[in-house]
Structure 1
Amino acid sequence: MHIKSIGQGPDLVLVHGWSMHSGVWSPLLELLSEHFRCHLVDLPGHGQSEWHEGDFELKRLLDNLSLALPQEAIWLGWSLGGMVALAMTHNYPEKVKKLILLASNPCFVQTDDWPCAMAAEVFNNFSASLAEDQQLTLQRFIMLQAKGANQPRQVIKQLSEQLAQQHEPEPEALKAGLKCLAEWDLRDTLASVNCPTQMILAENDHLIPVSLAEYVQKLQPKLRIDVMPGLGHAPFISQPQQCQLVIEQFIHE
């Protein structure tokens, strides 16, 4: 697994979301690397990480991350990356000093008792479109991430540029990532997490509804929740300085 480290200070692990790679953090990285030793993970089959069948099996993924990353660090995960970081707190609690879930849901697809997520029909249609035309589906996903942002064109431009800078993700890795989003249910993990945890939501996110705040607060009363107004699914691209401020306030509490 490819991991790039940059900056000086306390260890901070950053895990990107579905279909992207660690380069997506660049607007935020310029700010965070001044105060932290940032470890940028490319998930299997994304960016510069190779793909092998089964790499997204949760235990194997977490074991590989554990071997490659510092003994104790702050973990920051965006979207699918947030689910990975949350799962680390269960399998390797000694590894996670603090946890930051950025635009991430412990249960991504709606269930009867979890309405604050993506509708199953929408998710299934998206998965079907990936099998038909991967490139078009990735572009549609970029548009969806930018929707609701105060500067959607900027978000579309940056996400598109990042996607173009690396080889497209491995098709099997994309399918495996969607399977994770569909099947992982980490609500019990969030309820039992022991380290200080922050959830950052965006007011206009069309993938992770802001109504999630009410539900996760019941699961984990100690959770710190910050809502960023006027932003979509990638708030660290629209407003990197504002995002940095919210993150560092929590870290230094």
Structure 2
Amino acid sequence: MSRPIVLLHGWGLSSSVWAPLQAALDPSLEVRTIDLPGHGKATSAGDSLESWSDAVLAQLPRNSMLVGWSLGAQLALHLACLHPDRVSRLVLIGATPCFVQTDTWQAAMPADTLADFRRSFDIDPAATQRRFIALQGLGDARRRDVVNALGSAATPPDDAHKTALAEGLGLLANIDLRKVVPEIRQPVRLLHGAGDTLMPTAAAEWLADTLPDGRLSVFTDAGHAPFLSRPQDCAGLIEGFARD
């Protein structure tokens, strides 16, 4: 039995980033994409994880399989914990429960680095977004193609989107889902690039070990966006999981 597949993108992008993966998926599957609040064509939803999750929840069919990448993966985890009646299983790509380092969590970006991104975004949002996109291509054998694809799918940090994008960076700085991860009962498949310099593989390994039903696949030649550099391989894993 297949399930509706809902794709949730990461910070600063739009749902168009999923185009290569969608092209690789079996067209008989029901696949939907959602723009995160204030991204793409979506309206803003405030500056809290709860308000962003509510905005996504309003668009979810029942029994959805959420495919979340980066910030989208954190939203997917949050929704799976709070609304198990709407979320049947998860695929998490480039995922982490906590994006920044703390005294008890080192598998993440240094807090000062993200703080610098937030300050830079206030001064020169376009340049900051380009830097963030460039980081996502590091460690990938198809780095140039990945960066080009991300750039083409970026939400412009113009007057209509700048506030929401800044709020999204605030979410990345503050979300910590480590306490709720053991409560997530849905089956979870984790896909991660071994060369991901934005989010260490150790974060995905922690999720696989801590989730009650989590399995991890690591792509040796990929970075933070393996669904762009390895769309066929990611599609095959997602299709099998959706029909399981």
TM-score (norm 2): 0.93
Indicate the residue corresponding to 2:53 in structure 1.
62
Is 1:51 aligned to residue 44 of structure 2? yes
Give the AA of the match of 1:48: K
Unmatched 5+ stretches in structure 1: 1-8
Whole-angstrom CA distance in 1 between matches of 2:57 and 2:123? 35
Is 1:132 aligned to residue 134 of structure 2? no
Q: 1:151 aligns with which of 142, 147, 150?
A: 142
Please report the RMSD computed on the Cα atoms of aligned residues, expressed in angstroms: 1.7
**Deviation, structure 1 residue 29:** 0.7
**Deviation, structure 1 residue 167:** 4.4
Identical-pair percentage: 36
**Deviation, structure 1 residue 138:** 0.9
Conserved 8 A contact 1:107-1:184: yes
Q: State the structure with bigger RCO (CA 8 A, min sep 6), 1 or 2.
A: 2
Q: Secondary structure at the match of 2:85?
A: helix
**Deviation, structure 1 residue 103:** 0.4
Conserved 8 A contact 1:235-1:243: yes
Unmatched 5+ stretches in structure 2: none
Give the AA of the match of 1:84: L
Whole-angstrom CA distance in 2 between matches of 1:167 and 1:113? 35
Conserved 8 A contact 2:96-2:204: no
Runs of 4+ in 1 over 6 A off after TM superposition: none
Is 1:38 aligned to residue 38 of structure 2? no
Is 1:233 aligned to residue 224 of structure 2? yes
Conserved 8 A contact 2:5-2:242: no
TM-score (norm 1): 0.89
Q: 1:26 aligns with which of 19, 23, 27?
A: 19
Moved more, 15-24 or 139-148: 139-148
**Deviation, structure 1 residue 240:** 0.5
Is 1:122 aligned to residue 113 of structure 2? yes
Q: 1:82 aligns with which of 49, 73, 78?
A: 73
Whole-angstrom CA distance in 1 between matches of 2:204 and 2:153? 30
Question: How many residue pairs get matched?
Answer: 241
Conserved 8 A contact 2:12-2:165: yes
Give the AA of the match of 2:13: M
Indicate the residue corresponding to 2:191 in structure 1.
200
**Deviation, structure 1 residue 226:** 0.8
Give the AA of the match of 1:17: G
Conserved 8 A contact 2:8-2:15: yes
Conserved 8 A contact 1:10-1:35: no
